[in-house]
Amino acid sequence: MDFSPLTDALASKSYGKIADICDDLMLKGAAEMEGVPFEEEWPFAIHLLAHIYVNDTNSARFLWKSIPAAVKERQPEVVAAWGIGQRLWTRDYAAVHEAIRAFDWSQQIQPLVAAFSEVYTKRMFQLLLSAYSTISIQDTALFLGMNEDDATSYVLQQGWVVDPDSRMLIVKKQSVKTEQKLDSSKLQRLTEYVFHLEH
C-alpha cells in the first residue's frame, strides 16, 4: 500500500488533513486488498490521533472499535492514542494532558502529539475564557496541563489578572470585533425572501 500522501502530510505538518487522507487510504486499501488483511501495516495510532487532532472523537471512537484486538495487543502506541481519545470522549479534559505525557511516543508520531497538545491547550484556554469570570490558579493549571507558574504566566500574557490574596485569576474577556458591511444585493435578497415568506 502506498502511504506517500500520509508521509507527505506528516512531513509538511498538515495535521488537519491527515484524518481525511487516512480515511481515503483505508477505503482504497480495503477495496484493493479484498480478503487480504492489511491491518498489520496500517498506521492506526496516526489515524486515531489525526481524528483526535481535528476534534472528531466520534470517528476516533468508531475507528478504535474497528481495530482488531490483535493489533491493540501488539501496538501499545495505538492503545495510548485511544487513551487520549477516551479522556476526550468522557470529557475528562484535565486528564488529556496526563494521557499525552504518560506514553513515550515514537519519533514519527511525536510531532503530531505535540501539535495536538498545543491545539488542545488553546481550546481549553478558549473554554475557560468563555465559561469563567474568575478561576483558581490550580484549576487553570489542571485544564491547561501546566504547572501553576506556567499556567499563570500563560494567562497573564493573555491579559488575565491574578489576585494574590485569593490565588484566583480574573478572566479578561476578549472583545469580539465584528465588521458587517451592508451590501445592497444582500439586503435586496433578504427583502425578497421575507416578501416571499409573507405571501
The pLDDT tens digits for 145-192 are 999 999 999 999 999 999 888 889 999 876 656 666 667 777 778 788
Q: What percent of the chain has pLDDT over 70?
A: 89
Backbone angles phi, psi at 135, to 5 degrees: -150, 150
The pLDDT tens digits for 119-141 are 999 999 999 999 999 999 999 99
Residue 7 pLDDT level (bands cut at 50, 70, 90): confident
Residue 132 CA to residue 18 CA, distance in Å, equals 33
**Residues 43 and 6: beta-carbon distance below 8 Å:** yes
Predicted pLDDT of residue 34 = 60
Whole-structure pTM value: 0.78
Backbone angles phi, psi at 17, to 5 degrees: -95, -15
Residue 25 pLDDT level (bands cut at 50, 70, 90): confident
- In eight-state DSSP terms, residue 102 is T
